[in-house]
Amino acid sequence: MRHMETYMGEMTIRKSLLNKLRIVHNHKLLSWEKNTKNDIVISGTMRLAKGKKVVGLDDY
């Protein structure tokens, strides 16, 4: 049973690492100077996040 506890702990770490990497990657795509559609994406995201806590892009 101990090996399963270790495995489940590793999965949690991997999931949190993947989420952080997704955030960094998306931030780079949105803030890229040649991205012509970033305003559309950001406004759509703000509408979807209505009522939820939104973290500013400057936090990363």
Q: What number is the average pLDDT over the span 35-57?
A: 77
In a domain, 37, yes or no: yes
In a domain, 17, yes or no: yes
How confident is the model at residue 54, as a pLDDT?
Answer: 60
In a domain, 58, yes or no: no
The proportion of the chain whose per-residue pLDDT surpasses 90, expressed as a percent, equals: 0
In a domain, 8, yes or no: yes
Lowest mean pLDDT among 29-33, 49-53, 56-60: 56-60
Residue 29, domain extent: 2-51
Per the structure, the count of domains in the chain is: 1
Are 32 and 24 within 8 A, CB to CB?
Answer: no
pTM of the predicted protein model: 0.52
Confidence check: pLDDT of 38 > 60 = yes
In a domain, 60, yes or no: no
In a domain, 36, yes or no: yes
